[in-house]
Structure 1
Amino acid sequence: MQEMLSAEYGSFAGVLAKWAEHQPDQPALRDDAGELSWAAMHDQIERLAARLIETGLERGQPVAIIGTSSINYALVFLAAVRAGGVAAPLTTSASPEQLAGMAADSGARHLFIDAGKAAELGPQFMADLIRVPLEDLGGWMAPAGTHAPAIDPAPGDPFNIIYSSGTTGIPKGIVHSHQMRWRQFGATALSYLGSGLEVRSLASTPLYSNTTMVAFLPPLLAGGTVRIMGKFDCARWLGHASRDRTNVTMLVPVQYQRLMDHPGFDDYDLSALALKYCTSAPFSAELKREVLGRMPGGLIEIYSMTEGGVVCLLEAHKFPDKLHTVGRPSPGSEMKVLDDDDNPVAPGEAGNLIGLSQTMMSGYQNQPGKTREGYWKDPETGINWQRMGDIGRVDEDGFVELVGRAKDMIISGGFNIYPSDLEAELDREEDVLEAAVVGIASKQWGETPAGFIVLAVGARDPQEVLAAVNARLGKTQRLSALYAIDEMPRSHIGKLLKTELREIAERLAR
């Protein structure tokens, strides 16, 4: 198996078939409803793939999936790829109009949907597609023992479409090729085999998120077991991790924070944990430090984009003095820091990050213009680099520190204000549990910073916190307003929704 995974390119379906032959009775997938062995998983993937082709799936055509993560959801994802199609998991938190737009944009002929979303969206939702209830896969797939026709995907063929978590309009479909996914996840699986780790993974973020793929695809390529959680809950996660002897997991920062705050956390045996990953949202140095101190195993933060670009890795357990960074570019990744005119900045200065790696998207589905907008073309080589959308600086050791999102930078009276600097000052206040800063329109300054905080019980009045923080800030940085809220608005994978905060601040400032 190591020989297969070490090849420059290979077949996902081929590797899974080999594992099914090698260890037919070992568990492959688990969820709250049950468990599938490797032999049973392989059989059902083949039968689903055969039925997809029989009902008109064409090579390179997406298969849309809407619902809560489960074994059946995972089977459809894998069967779509096995059949020569493209897995197109759609965000359940999107509006009906957005979901219809994504399904239409993908060009899917098939829609697999669970009972909850089917009831919510109604029988007329995408009625022109072949609709299959996720709960009834057994009644839809081909008869037992059926094998799908042999498919040999080319490296550039699309593997999946991940729709971005935009809050307005139809999200962009990010297309990943077979070659990209093989380079990305084959290497990870190979590292597991090389270390002798028999992977038992716990995937607790939705399968429609690119984040989840780290806990889903590499463990299967390594012949491991993946438990799929439908919805994250601290007690259930801890119970699964303890009973399954989970040794690999992916969590987003808000999940780590909730686990650290859970009153029963220390009652569970997590000693099997070998590797914990984190990505998708800012991960504070303080939280990393607490996770390192209280959870066994290594902690690896991944910084990149669903679109690709540079991939930075921070092995937090090895670099405790670099927890304020997102690590260094991984082997095969390159990064540049440019000013607003696309010129390189001086070493140590903050600027716009751009990246290049072997794991770049093929482009946005049906949007070549948007694809080009996201690139920076090297004038000397003509190679396209991905604009990361972040502002950051590189320290003397090559570690990357993020300053903020480019679109979130505040320009007030001609001065650049980085929200992260102000958020760090707010976080210094003992009363403040969480802080966020956004820019709002100002007649006098063009833009001005406004802050939001979640306060501890018995905290001071927000105006007292505001006065204390502004006293430490320079005149051009001072917050014009500070609002206390019960909870920060977040996406399905814990990303802070500053667009919503900006709308609230603009409304309150009127």
Structure 2
Amino acid sequence: MNLVEQVRQQAFEQPEKTAYYFMGQGTSYGEFEQTVGRFAKALQDLGLEKGDHVGLLLGNTPHFLISLYATMRIGATAIPINPIYTADEISYIIQNGDVKVVVALDMLLPLVETGVKAFPQVQGYIICETTPNVGEKFAALSDEAKTKTKLFTHVLANTTTTVDPVAVKQEDTAVILYTSGTTGQPKGAMLTHGNLYSNARDVGEYLQMTGDDRIITTLPVFHVFALTVVVNAPLMKGATLLIAPRFSPAEIFELAETYKATVFAGVPTMFNFLYQFEEGDPKAFEHLRLAVSGGASLPVSLLHHFEEKFNVRVSEGYGLSEASPVTCFNPLDRERKAGSIGQSIVNVDNKVVDALGNEVPVGEVGELIVRGPNVMKGYYKQPEETAVAIRDGWLYTGDLAKKDEEGYFYIVDRKKDMIIVGGYNVYPREVEEVLFAHPNVIEAAVVGLPDRDFGEAVHAYVVLKDKSITPAQLQSYCAERIVKYKVPKVIEILEELPKNSTGKILRRSLKEISTIS
């Protein structure tokens, strides 16, 4: 069994059931199956075969769902790409990923002209219409670009037949997800049909998803967190997706109230914005049975504030692209521990080890490593990087963690983000938790910067409610709660913190800000 077959089965069993709502319009599982089948045929008509690569430059629209499942249906490999990446970032992935066909939002139509010359291996571009005047932009293309470009609606209108799913093996690559490239050029994590299916199946079971669930899909669907938790797992269970084109607190509250949403998944920044949104009515979330946080560590104070305000349980989990992504979640049928990423999900093993790969005692900090059917088969065209990441069947995550006596794991920080002050280890998250507990701090991030006397020094960046609060006051607040060497040497007050498309705070950008200033 794989994702394509499982979701297709839902269409056969309950064709009238709504698969997703988008901009007020519902689409049934039966309609989704038909559209996927036709688009799959259109991709074959473009010359795509099993094993070929399709770039998906798409956001949170039905085009992404259709394109993803159509690509997997013909045995091709989907490569989701953030559509707001720079031209250089997009170019690198298309070139490195050996992309043959690109499916893109219409806002990227002007880039097709450049792409036709830069990427001779790309056989065609399919443009998805989401804004007015697409026809005019299309007409402005050169004749050479026009011959390689088609509009999504035209492709579907001119394709009347469907294709059955191509037979694939569990080890065949279904998706290549390029990592954010925080340590250099992005690496393409190859996720197999077996990887994606097993993680979606196990996450769906772990979170007790059913066909009655209505899941808010506002996380960027090209990101692995969304791909499994708010797309694949719900569709496998016959649930209904509530697709939000972008994250907006006002729109999320309206969506939740209109469709009686039962599950919300987001990154900590989203939880913070929802909590801070003054017009947010807790009644809008009265049908939520579960809120899921991932992508970064959720401050404990924010978790408690959110739960108290909206009367909904928040369960934090953990994952990474290379693991499809989920490895841990706080259980729904047992104690939820604030600050913990929970326990290993079914079929997945997590372990905390030292530099030699030996498991460390309970309570000690080490690197988190993971093993299971969800772990990637490797990085695309990078065997050396693969050998570093996967050793003896275990995926080395690069995250520092510890485990308690009951098997709950706690992320301490990224291995590369740890700050060493005069020989003492300082974990940014610990300092951030203290800052977040201050009643006037909205957001906080901590990084280590070079220091002449101590090697590194703790630098903090905060966004405040009350602009009259001074850095000195915040330092005094921290000094009362943590040892002196952990107290930020410098605290800068910003209007907002730099974030990526998933809402994760970009520590690297903060370091660059400090270097420039």
- Shared fold per TM-score greater than 0.5: yes
Note the C-alpha offset of 1:363.
Answer: 1.2
Contact conserved, 1:47 with 1:142, CA < 8 A, in 2?
Answer: no
**Partner SS, residue 449 of structure 1:** strand
Q: Residues 126 and 303 of structure 1: is their aligned pair in 2 closer, same or farther, counting only changes over 3 Å?
A: farther
1:479 to 456, 473, 488: 488
Runs of at least 5 residues in structure 2 that lack an aligned partner in the other structure: 130-150
Q: Which stretch of structure 1 is more off in the superposition, 13-22 or 93-102?
A: 13-22
AA paired with 1:204? T
Note the C-alpha offset of 1:452.
Answer: 1.4
AA paired with 2:270? Q
Q: How does 1:128-207 map to 2 (within 5 A)?
A: 128=120, 129=122, 130-135=124-129, 136-141=151-156, 143=158, 145-166=160-181, 170-189=185-204, 197-207=211-221
2:73 to 66, 82, 86: 82
State the match for 1:386 in structure 2: 395
Residue 442 in structure 1 maps to residue 451 in structure 2: yes
State the match for 2:429 in structure 1: 420
Residue 274 in structure 1 maps to residue 283 in structure 2: no
Residue 399 in structure 1 maps to residue 408 in structure 2: yes
Contact conserved, 1:310 with 1:329, CA < 8 A, in 2?
Answer: no
State the match for 1:295 in structure 2: 310
State the match for 1:336 in structure 2: 351
- Separation (CA, whole Å) in 2 of partners of 1:39 and 1:316: 32
Residue 221 in structure 1 maps to residue 221 in structure 2: no
Note the C-alpha offset of 1:270.
Answer: 2.6
- Separation (CA, whole Å) in 2 of partners of 1:200 and 1:469: 42
- Number of equivalenced pairs: 490
- Separation (CA, whole Å) in 2 of partners of 1:29 and 1:218: 13
Note the C-alpha offset of 1:335.
Answer: 2.5
Q: Residues 406 and 187 of structure 1: is their aligned pair in 2 closer, same or farther, counting only changes over 3 Å?
A: closer
Residue 44 in structure 1 maps to residue 58 in structure 2: no
State the match for 1:455 in structure 2: 464
**Partner SS, residue 160 of structure 1:** strand
AA paired with 1:436? A
Note the C-alpha offset of 1:152.
Answer: 0.9
Residue 312 in structure 1 maps to residue 303 in structure 2: no
Q: How does 1:87-98 map to 2 (within 5 A)?
A: 87-98=78-89
AA paired with 1:273? L
State the match for 1:5 in structure 2: none
AA paired with 2:221? L
Q: Residues 144 and 122 of structure 1: is their aligned pair in 2 closer, same or farther, counting only changes over 3 Å?
A: closer
**Partner SS, residue 287 of structure 1:** helix
Note the C-alpha offset of 1:310.
Answer: 7.6
Note the C-alpha offset of 1:57.
Answer: 1.0
Residues 216-255 of structure 1: CA deviation (Å, up to 9, x unaligned): 1111112222222111111111111111122233211111
Runs of at least 5 residues in structure 1 that lack an aligned partner in the other structure: 1-9, 378-382
AA paired with 2:417? D
Residue 101 in structure 1 maps to residue 92 in structure 2: yes
State the match for 2:115 in structure 1: 125
Residue 114 in structure 1 maps to residue 105 in structure 2: yes
Contact conserved, 1:48 with 1:141, CA < 8 A, in 2?
Answer: yes
Note the C-alpha offset of 1:410.
Answer: 1.1
Q: Which stretch of structure 1 is more off in the superposition, 29-38 or 236-245?
A: 29-38
**Partner SS, residue 502 of structure 1:** helix
State the match for 1:358 in structure 2: 373
**Partner SS, residue 441 of structure 1:** strand
Residues 183-217 of structure 1: CA deviation (Å, up to 9, x unaligned): 1112444678x875423222101111111121111
Residue 324 in structure 1 maps to residue 339 in structure 2: yes
Q: Residues 295 and 153 of structure 1: is their aligned pair in 2 closer, same or farther, counting only changes over 3 Å?
A: farther
Note the C-alpha offset of 1:110.
Answer: 0.6
Residues 140-167 of structure 1: CA deviation (Å, up to 9, x unaligned): 1374541215411100011111221235
AA paired with 1:441? P
Residues 13-54 of structure 1: CA deviation (Å, up to 9, x unaligned): 223333223322332232127332222211111111111112
Q: Which stretch of structure 1 is more off in the superposition, 165-174 or 484-493?
A: 165-174
Q: Residues 90 and 351 of structure 1: is their aligned pair in 2 closer, same or farther, counting only changes over 3 Å?
A: same
Note the C-alpha offset of 1:499.
Answer: 0.5
Q: Which stretch of structure 1 is more off in the superposition, 456-465 or 445-454?
A: 456-465
After superposition, the CA RMSD in angstroms is: 2.4
Q: Residues 409 and 151 of structure 1: is their aligned pair in 2 closer, same or farther, counting only changes over 3 Å?
A: same
State the match for 1:209 in structure 2: 223
Q: Which stretch of structure 1 is more off in the superposition, 85-94 or 473-482?
A: 473-482
Task: State the percentage of identical aligned residues.
Answer: 24
**Partner SS, residue 505 of structure 1:** helix
Note the C-alpha offset of 1:348.
Answer: 1.3
Note the C-alpha offset of 1:388.
Answer: 1.7
AA paired with 1:482? I
**Partner SS, residue 141 of structure 1:** helix
- Separation (CA, whole Å) in 2 of partners of 1:452 and 1:299: 26
Residue 430 in structure 1 maps to residue 424 in structure 2: no
Contact conserved, 1:190 with 1:222, CA < 8 A, in 2?
Answer: no
What is the TM-score with the length of structure 2 in the denominator? 0.88
- Separation (CA, whole Å) in 2 of partners of 1:190 and 1:463: 49
State the match for 1:70 in structure 2: 61
Contact conserved, 2:458 with 2:486, CA < 8 A, in 1?
Answer: yes
Q: Which stretch of structure 1 is more off in the superposition, 156-165 or 31-40?
A: 31-40
- Separation (CA, whole Å) in 1 of partners of 2:326 and 2:231: 22
Residue 58 in structure 1 maps to residue 49 in structure 2: yes
Q: Residues 342 and 35 of structure 1: is their aligned pair in 2 closer, same or farther, counting only changes over 3 Å?
A: same
Contact conserved, 2:199 with 2:326, CA < 8 A, in 1?
Answer: no
1:24 to 15, 19, 26: 15
